[in-house]
Structure 1
Amino acid sequence: MDVPNAVTYELRDRVAWVGLNRPQKRNAINDALLSEFEAAARRAQGEARAMVVHGHGPCFCAGLDLAEHRAREPAEVFHHSRRWHAVFAAVRRGHIPAIAALHGATVGGGLELAAACHLRVADASTFFALPEGTRGIYVGGGASVHVARLLGAPRMMDMMLTGRVLDAAAAERAGLVQYLVPEGEAPAKAAELSAKVADMAPLTVLGVLQALPRIQDMSEDDGLFVESVMAALAQTGPEAAERLADFVAKRAAKVAGPGQG
């Protein structure tokens, strides 16, 4: 019997759709899935202008596959964690925007994967948790840095110490997700957003994905310096000249208020 791939890959126009495909295991992440996901993410970097990460079946991702988790020596745990960091960095530090389309359980390592993406769309069924604390372990896929930056360290402490679960509405209020949609509509919203970002000028995307996150770790003066460098690169590029000319000639739409565009 053929064994289905743990990760699916589909190129739709200029957007790569990368799907976690262990629905019987709630898309829990084992080493095989992690390796397939890395290969898919790197493939997307080479042939797409945007990427959507989603989950097949009842949820996005239930985190680390504890059924395959075995007792490890500290050094083994350390290197296993660093492997997760490296794979998720292929998304976070890649040169195309990644959008997570979320539904159902998005917990533990699944939340860490969602946090590695640049935009997050959650449908109303989505819920978020960091159950590692209640299971006697600690996060290892980047949550201490990346989830804490999205939520704030106090909220992450609450989730880890008490097992608190955030529903989709609470996650949006906390800044964990940027878009909240009705149940079942996350893929459609992700498709809409990915079409927009795939049309962005490459130098603008470079600034948003590569400069903006690093500026957050810089001093004010250094951050403003890097901003000016990126402005000089982007605003003198050929695509910028064409798009600005279109705007001046009134061939491009003006910014409209929410719901008016």
Structure 2
Amino acid sequence: MAASLVSLEVREQVAWIGLDRPAKRNAISDALLAALDAAVARAQGAARAMVVFGHGPCFSAGLDLSEHTARTAEAVFHHSRGWHAVFRRIRAGSIPAIAAIHGACVGGGLELAAACHIRVADLTARFALPEGSRGIFVGGGASVHVARILGAARMADMMLTGRALDAAAAERAGLVTYLTEPGGAPAQAGVLAAKVAQMAPLTVLGVLQALPRIQDMAEEDGLFVESMMAALAQTGPEAQAGLAAFLEKRAAKAGEG
């Protein structure tokens, strides 16, 4: 892994993955994407949660357009599918991912953030999909995953008009889950990651693997899968210990912890 492009540090079961190309506003080049993929694979084998963040002035300014101009249509197709594969490793992987966002989070950077399960942004964050104004189309999964978060109509507005969302608007739209003061996103993401890392593995499995699939199922199929996951998770050793702690009044009540 190229240490100059992506940093990786594991602390107390949480992997910290940093895009480290600050002079280029963490624009995602082919080399950075490969380094990110390698870091995610290592993190999933060494930690129980990960935080993805950007070094320097912003989270990510998106696709490195300097590499994009010389590609043929066939090359662009396969390049797009490569982005899908890397982001799927995050989205459908074995551990939850939390994005800690500051500054620009646009284009491919927004697609990366959307691949994470929780998004924390500070008040400097700005979100945009500038591909339309550049005469191109999204290629890192936004048409599926960003549209599912924001809704197709809002995404169409962003692509057609170049509209950007500030952090507060992004929170209202459901794109951001937590807001912090400037500079506070990594700390908040770290608190959340530490909490997530303590969750029962079968519960995490259900949230990461079953929940997204249930959204695409017919109602009765989704409810069936929910029942199957409930049966697996609620009979596991971690669940039994957690239920015993609650009944013995050793665990925090819902909403208190």
TM-score scaled by length of structure 1: 0.97
Aligned to 2:76: 77
Amino acid at match of 2:64: D
Amino acid at match of 1:245: A
Aligned to 2:191: 192
Give the 3-state SS of the residue equivalent to 1:68 in structure 2: helix
Give the 3-state SS of the residue equivalent to 2:100 in structure 1: strand
Q: Distance in 2 between matches of 1:200 and 1:155?
A: 34
Aligned to 1:18: 17
Give the 3-state SS of the residue equivalent to 2:253 in structure 1: coil
Q: Distance in 2 between matches of 1:20 and 1:176?
A: 20
Give the 3-state SS of the residue equivalent to 2:50 in structure 1: strand
More displaced, 107-116 or 69-78? 69-78
Amino acid at match of 1:252: A
Q: Distance in 2 between matches of 1:200 and 1:4?
A: 30
**1:157 has 2:156 as partner:** yes
Cα drift, residue 253 of structure 1: 1.1
Name the % identity: 73
When residues 4 and 50 of structure 1 are mapped into structure 2, their CA distance, relative to the original with a 3 A threshold, is closer
Moved over 6 A (4+): none
Give the 3-state SS of the residue equivalent to 1:37 in structure 2: helix
- How many equivalent pairs are there? 256
- How large is the RMSD of aligned CA atoms in angstroms? 1.0
Aligned to 1:146: 145
Aligned to 1:176: 175
Cα drift, residue 4 of structure 1: 5.3
Aligned to 1:217: 216
Consecutive unaligned residues in structure 1, runs of 5 or more:
none
Amino acid at match of 2:127: F
Amino acid at match of 1:77: V
When residues 35 and 252 of structure 1 are mapped into structure 2, their CA distance, relative to the original with a 3 A threshold, is same
Give the 3-state SS of the residue equivalent to 1:253 in structure 2: coil
Q: Which structure 2 residues correspond to residues 1-261 of structure 1 after superposition, within 5 A?
A: 5-256=4-255, 261=257
Consecutive unaligned residues in structure 2, runs of 5 or more:
none
Give the 3-state SS of the residue equivalent to 1:144 in structure 2: coil
Q: Distance in 2 between matches of 1:62 and 1:36?
A: 17
